[in-house]
Amino acid sequence: MDAVTLIVCDAVVPVFLFLALVFFQAHQKTYPGFGLWTAATLAIALGYTLLMFRPVMPLGLNIVVTNGLFFLGVVLRLAGVVRFMSGRRLTAIWYGALLSCLALQAYFYFVQDKIALRTLIIGVFIFIVSVRCVREVVRFAPKESRPLYLAAGAIYALSGLINMIRAVSIMLVRQYSLFDSGKVNIAYFLMMMVFELGWGLTFLMMNSQRLESELRGSEKSLFSTVARLEKTLAEVRTLQGFIPICSSCKKIRDDAGYWQQVEKYISDHSGAQFTHGICPECVRKLYPDFADQILDQPRET
């Protein structure tokens, strides 16, 4: 296994992950940050693809564009994590850091050609971004799926650590070639392929977990609402059909054939309760001598 083959694999893996993320986004509900992850995966895929064209492109142009795509992919990935975990937007300082690192890449090729320093800049930048990703994931990880988020944080942490180790190891050697099939390059490109797979899978799993959690919450709320409605319906009884009532005393005959006062019958068949008073007509009929005094009394409110 040589470095060129692994670089090809490193380009193919994010391409397929990008297509999977696009397909998932087209057919499933996704949350803020998912689109940024998709764009980051595309940027990484393009970066690895351009690496394969380094022998046939102007070297300086290839270095600046390729590293720029890697920087962009790393920052977009962080922006996606921040947006997905807390709903916030990534501050502009990170994009400023991206441009600064890209300017340093150009300087250490066109002014002073030092591949070790270029690699160190990449390694330090990825390490810092990885630390921020880990902090964001651990801080806002939901309790019900904390192991998944801790696994994602571990992937970010290992990626940053591997990039730092590679940068330091290149600083210690006198000569280095990107396409060298030495142990350092082989291990690095192999680990990057594993990390890309891990990132893609954790993105999909975190989004799916949040969707599942939301559906469970909606289902629980629906069951609670249905239970309340069933309880309410069980308590509400309505009067329907013909009700036999005495034309003289106004008693009502129930289903068993017994005659009941109107208020008792209605109370038994509904949730209504009665209070008793006397209407003006009955006052004048029953208490003609006191009718005016009774009717002139203020009503209670």
Q: Please give the residue range of the domain that contains residue 285.
A: 234-301
Q: Tokens standing for 28?
A: 């499933």
Q: Which of 169, 184, 215 is the last residue of a domain?
A: 215
The answer to the question of residue 222 being in a domain is no
291 in a structural domain: yes
pLDDT tens for 106-141 read 999 999 998 889 999 999 999 999 999 999 999 999
| Residue 227 covered by a domain | no
Instruction: Report whether pLDDT(218) > 80.
Output: yes
| Residues whose CB falls within 8 Å of the CB of residue 274, separated by 6 or more in sequence, listed in order | 263, 266, 267
Degrees, nearest 5: CA angle 160-164-170: 145
Tokens 């994009």 belong to 95
User: Which token pair is 246?
Assistant: 């005495």
Q: Is residue 224 part of a domain?
A: no
Asked whether residue 40 falls in the same domain as residue 79, the answer is yes
Range 161-189 average pLDDT: 84
**Contact at 8 Å (CB) between 153 and 147?**
no
Q: What is the pLDDT of residues 61-93, one digit of tens each?
A: 999 999 999 999 999 999 999 999 999 999 999
Please give the C-alpha separations between residue 223 and each of 115, 155, 219, 234, 271, in angstroms, as whole numbers: 62, 38, 6, 16, 25
Instruction: Report the alpha-carbon distance of residue 177 to residue 191 in Å, rounded.
Output: 18
Is the same domain home to 200 and 58?
Answer: yes
Q: Within this chain, do residues 84 and 7 fall inside the same structural domain, yes or no?
A: yes
- Do 139 and 197 have their domain in common? yes
User: Could you tell me if residue 281 is inside a domain?
Assistant: yes
Helices 183-235 and 59-86: crossing angle in degrees, nearest 10, is: 30
Predicted confidence at residue 103, as pLDDT, reads 95
Confidence of residue 234 (pLDDT cuts 50, 70, 90): low
Per the model's pLDDT, the better-predicted residue between 240 and 121 turns out to be 121
Lowest mean pLDDT among 4-13, 26-35, 262-271: 262-271
Does 228 fall in a domain? no
Residues 259 and 183 in one domain: no
Give the length of the chain: 301
The pLDDT of 241-260, averaged and rounded, is 78
* SS3 readout for 111-170: HCCCHHHHHHHHHHHHHHHHHHHHHHHHHHCCHHHHHHHHHHHHHHHHHHHHHHHHHHHH
Tell whether 66 and 134 lie within a shared domain: yes
Does residue 47 sit within a domain?
Answer: yes
In a shared domain, residues 42 and 15: yes
Given the structure tokens 């050609």, which residue do they identify? Answer: 113
226 within some domain: no
Name the band, by pLDDT with cuts 50, 70 and 90, for residue 292: confident
CA distances from 125 to 50, 72, 102, 120, 148 (A): 20, 11, 11, 8, 25
Confidence band for 237, pLDDT divided at 50, 70 and 90: low
Statement to judge: residues 182 and 241 lie in one domain? no
Task: Answer yes or no: do 49 and 138 share one domain.
Answer: yes
What is the total count of domains within the chain? 2
Across 135-149, 218-232, 283-297, least confident range: 283-297
- Residue that wins the pLDDT comparison between 274 and 59: 59
Domain boundary among 188, 215, 242: 215
Percent of all residues in the chain with a pLDDT value above 70, rounded to a whole number: 93
Weakest-pLDDT range from 12-16, 123-127, 198-202, 285-289: 285-289
| Of 215, 243, 272, the domain-final residue | 215
Does 195 share its domain with 252?
no
Q: Are residues 109 and 10 in the same domain?
A: yes
CATH code where residue 39 lies = 1.20.1070
30, 105: one domain: yes
Average pLDDT, the chain: 87
Give residue 301's pLDDT: 45
